[in-house]
A and B are shown apart, each in its own frame.
Chain A
């Protein structure tokens, strides 16, 4: 049983940065913009969040800075695609290159400026990211350990995802967001300010991606800055958006599944030891597990296009820029 609990615990941790990135990208895509720059935004958030945490030792400031970095990165994207109507794919890819370069360039400088060449967050700072035992809930056998004794950012990710879900589904602004991404011409004719809605949501989404990056740099490297730390997780987040059928609520579950894929190989041995019937799991090569998020997503993508479902599909205008006087 402990194996399962530990596995769940680790899967949730591994899924958290993905959840941030996915939630951010869902909000962006809901506005009708496919931003392929998630990887870059996460890198920017990762570095800026780390830098501020490193110098100020304030978690709040660190997260705010990471959010701000994401906002700034996506501001470039929004300005180019919304105002200047540049191709979304190309702009997003460029943002990935830029963001990756940004983090690694300044990361290198930080490393050079640190004695010993390994910038490490202070113990005081890292203590703020220690696992929290939620009173009462964490005492529930098994589940308490798996679900209710995580670090604060895990809960933040879930809260943001739930809030985003509620925002999109239940608020008026969320309705306007959905309308804009589905049919900007209709939204415009209804009197919505399409440009403003796109900007606000692209920036919001970018900021959330930035926090996802910070999660990686603050927690996954044992508090030490690593160049290249995001390492493709932004792309998994883009895939997860499809897997979660553009719903932040489903993304919570999806991030658990994708998180599980990423750590499965490490844990497969434990499973095999405890449940001999599952020993085949450890014989599946790791490559398959890391491939699974993309494979599953591709299959989901194809199936939804075959069934032609209207709900749970990509917002109809996604990828196409809007110009009112087009005819």
Chain B
């Protein structure tokens, strides 16, 4: 438990990763990554959701095994086969989704797998309290986990790792669920541990936090390590650029259309997640026919909740969403689909939302239209036709319409999803991360498809991650930060720097294209 004393000189390399590669089925999560973690230093691992940060760190904590590559701890090559191995090497990871046993007390979770002795003694509670105190934290060791707030749970997670004598700490998105005050307290603790000589890795996608807490930053993009820089020598704009993509010259067509009526009006929308955390905070905007409105923001800024709320899958706390003149609150997802609002959301794992992975392509095509015929049978023939058209139109690589979606590669799964949404001729199309993980060629197919919808007079809400693309493709760009709208810009005149600042929390009063600021 002497966390600090056996740690040697600061700046010494604690962990070195060389050429780590890990694939899940056809998806390559990490591709040939090198990484160095030093003692007495806080390293930020920065990247968008799905860029492979967590996967990489899970290989240090023994959850996953790399397909290839080497791991050195204190200069020795190691094979971390299980979490036990990681613990023995002094590596502790605090997972984003806490790995705690709900029905046990805080103290029992802390000593789990680490204490000694045949019997559980009363003094384990005292022991847990003492560990907490040593690091300036407070917990009630006899409280059950399920009775705890998120920040209490996180404290237990950290104590659990410290109790095992970890001196290399990995924290996965530790501030995602914390209030600003709790975040400050956490950072205080992390700094103290760094000064004691621990090596700390903090996985995050929040730029301001990177700048505030870290000494060095390694940026991952699409499973590859793109840069490592000293925090003192960088800034938010540069980091954004690393994160969301190289400034290459794109030639994406942006047809000039005349925007028509306001199809979607969102007024002061506020929503909360199951834990009561505010995810969208007083969001107002409108979407016209014949335009592409981009939504920018670091992942987790409320994009998912925005999509789900419009699709009727998420309850509205405050505010309203109007489709033309009709309030959609209280409507079932099915009624909203019937109105002509179509949503395609590409989640990080690409499946589970909008697609049934074990069904074939044709069956997935009719997910929203299977009720249309009067007969009790599904419109399988029509779906097969539709599948063939979509496969042709979007260049989907598949053995045929009878192939289960699960067996397609990631990009093709996305095309199936987007292809279906476009095919139902919606009047509003919401699309989130449609080119996530796609190669350049496939991406252009998608952009063309979206432009075609725009020309048809469809209102397209494009939630994206690549700012260069959004600046070329969209007509307007709305920036979200922590669930708030920090600005709506004209995509034809806006710059990446401008957007980057707004993504990091700066605000502007500009609401381009929203002539009448809605107020009621």
Q: Do chains A and B touch in the complex (CB under 8 A)?
A: yes
Q: Does B83 contact A (CB under 8 A)?
A: yes
A residues in contact with B95, CB < 8 Å: 189
| Interface residues in chain B, defined as those with a beta carbon under 8 Å from any beta carbon in chain A | 24, 61, 63-65, 82-84, 86-87, 93, 95, 98-104, 108-109, 111-120, 144, 146, 160, 164, 349
A residues in contact with B119, CB < 8 Å: 170-172
A185 to B64, CA, bound (A): 12
A171 to B84, CA, bound (A): 21
Known: A187-B101, A187-B112. A310 touches B146 (CB 8 A): yes
Task: Give residues 304-327 of A contacting B (CB, 8 Å).
Answer: 310-311, 316, 324-325, 327
A205 to nearest B CB, angstroms?
20
Known: A188-B83, A327-B24, A327-B349. A183 touches B99 (CB 8 A): yes
User: Which of A172, A190, A316, A324 has the most chain B CB atoms closer than 10 A to its own CB?
Assistant: A190
A243 to nearest B CB, angstroms?
20
A324 to nearest B CB, angstroms?
6
Q: Does A39 contact B (CB under 8 A)?
A: no
Cross-chain contact B114 with A191 (CB below 8 angstroms): yes
Cross-chain contact A189 with B83 (CB below 8 angstroms): yes
Given A176-B112, A178-B103, 17 new contacts (CB under 8 A): A170-B119, A170-B120, A171-B120, A174-B120, A175-B120, A179-B101, A179-B104, A182-B101, A183-B101, A189-B93, A190-B160, A191-B82, A191-B164, A192-B113, A324-B63, A325-B64, A327-B349
B249 to nearest A CB, angstroms?
36
Of A170, A189, A193, A311, the residue contacting B103 (CB under 8 A) is A311
What are 20 A-B residue pairs whose CB atoms fall within 8 Å in the complex?
A: A172-B115, A172-B116, A172-B117, A178-B103, A179-B101, A183-B100, A186-B98, A186-B99, A187-B101, A187-B112, A188-B82, A189-B83, A189-B99, A190-B112, A191-B83, A191-B84, A191-B113, A191-B114, A310-B102, A324-B63
A residues in contact with B112, CB < 8 Å: 175-176, 179, 186-187, 190-192
A residues in contact with B113, CB < 8 Å: 176, 187, 190-192
The 10 closest A-B pairs by CB, nearest first: A191-B113, A186-B99, A190-B113, A189-B99, A190-B112, A191-B84, A192-B113, A179-B101, A191-B87, A183-B101
User: Which of A178, A179, A186, A193 has the most chain B CB atoms closer than 10 A to its own CB?
Assistant: A186
Cross-chain contact B61 with A183 (CB below 8 angstroms): no
B435 to nearest A CB, angstroms?
22
Cross-chain contact A189 with B102 (CB below 8 angstroms): no
Task: Give residues 159-206 of A contacting B (CB, 8 Å).
Answer: 170-176, 178-179, 182-183, 185-193
Cross-chain contact B84 with A193 (CB below 8 angstroms): yes
B residues in contact with A311, CB < 8 Å: 103
Cross-chain contact B84 with A186 (CB below 8 angstroms): no
Of A170, A183, A193, the residue contacting B102 (CB under 8 A) is A183
A173 to B117, CA, bound (A): 10
User: Which of B61, B102, B117, B164 has the most chain A CB atoms closer than 10 A to its own CB?
Assistant: B102
Cross-chain contact B100 with A175 (CB below 8 angstroms): no
| Interface residues in chain A, defined as those with a beta carbon under 8 Å from any beta carbon in chain B | 170-176, 178-179, 182-183, 185-193, 310-311, 316, 324-325, 327
A residues in contact with B116, CB < 8 Å: 172
B166 to nearest A CB, angstroms?
11
B78 to nearest A CB, angstroms?
16
User: Which of A170, A172, A183, A185 has the most chain B CB atoms closer than 10 A to its own CB?
Assistant: A172
B residues in contact with A187, CB < 8 Å: 101, 112-113
Cross-chain contact A175 with B108 (CB below 8 angstroms): yes
A25 to B64, CA, bound (A): 32
B residues in contact with A327, CB < 8 Å: 24, 349
A178 to B144, CA, bound (A): 14
Known: A171-B119, A310-B144. A186 touches B114 (CB 8 A): no
A178 to B93, CA, bound (A): 22
B219 to nearest A CB, angstroms?
23
B82 to nearest A CB, angstroms?
8
Cross-chain contact B102 with A316 (CB below 8 angstroms): yes
A30 to nearest B CB, angstroms?
11
B342 to nearest A CB, angstroms?
28
Cross-chain contact B117 with A178 (CB below 8 angstroms): no
B residues in contact with A188, CB < 8 Å: 63, 82-83
Known: A324-B63, A325-B64, A327-B349. A190 touches B83 (CB 8 A): yes
B residues in contact with A185, CB < 8 Å: 99
A residues in contact with B109, CB < 8 Å: 179, 186, 190
Cross-chain contact A325 with B120 (CB below 8 angstroms): no
Of B93, B100, B115, B349, the residue contacting A186 (CB under 8 A) is B100
A207 to B465, CA, bound (A): 57
A residues in contact with B164, CB < 8 Å: 191
A residues in contact with B120, CB < 8 Å: 170-172, 174-175
A residues in contact with B64, CB < 8 Å: 325
A224 to B146, CA, bound (A): 52
B residues in contact with A186, CB < 8 Å: 98-101, 109, 112
A193 to B144, CA, bound (A): 23
B residues in contact with A324, CB < 8 Å: 63
A224 to nearest B CB, angstroms?
43
Of A171, A190, A191, the residue contacting B118 (CB under 8 A) is A171
B358 to nearest A CB, angstroms?
16
B residues in contact with A182, CB < 8 Å: 101-104
A28 to B389, CA, bound (A): 53
A324 to B102, CA, bound (A): 19
A327 to B96, CA, bound (A): 14
B residues in contact with A172, CB < 8 Å: 115-120
Cross-chain contact B102 with A190 (CB below 8 angstroms): no
Cross-chain contact B99 with A190 (CB below 8 angstroms): yes
A59 to B61, CA, bound (A): 50
Identity of the chain B residue whose Cβ is nearest the Cβ of A169 in the assembled complex: B120
B residues in contact with A174, CB < 8 Å: 120
A residues in contact with B108, CB < 8 Å: 175, 179
A81 to nearest B CB, angstroms?
20
Identity of the chain A residue whose Cβ is nearest the Cβ of B54 in the assembled complex: A327
A189 to B82, CA, bound (A): 8
Identity of the chain A residue whose Cβ is nearest the Cβ of B105 in the assembled complex: A175
A35 to B158, CA, bound (A): 36
A171 to nearest B CB, angstroms?
6
B residues in contact with A192, CB < 8 Å: 112-113
A174 to B120, CA, bound (A): 9
Cross-chain contact B63 with A325 (CB below 8 angstroms): yes
A188 to B111, CA, bound (A): 13
Cross-chain contact B103 with A310 (CB below 8 angstroms): yes
A residues in contact with B82, CB < 8 Å: 188, 191, 193
B359 to nearest A CB, angstroms?
21
Cross-chain contact A189 with B61 (CB below 8 angstroms): yes
Identity of the chain B residue whose Cβ is nearest the Cβ of A311 in the assembled complex: B103
A residues in contact with B118, CB < 8 Å: 171-173
A187 to B160, CA, bound (A): 12
A residues in contact with B24, CB < 8 Å: 327
A5 to nearest B CB, angstroms?
38
A291 to B290, CA, bound (A): 68
Identity of the chain A residue whose Cβ is nearest the Cβ of B160 in the assembled complex: A190
Identity of the chain B residue whose Cβ is nearest the Cβ of A183 in the assembled complex: B101
Identity of the chain B residue whose Cβ is nearest the Cβ of A174 in the assembled complex: B120
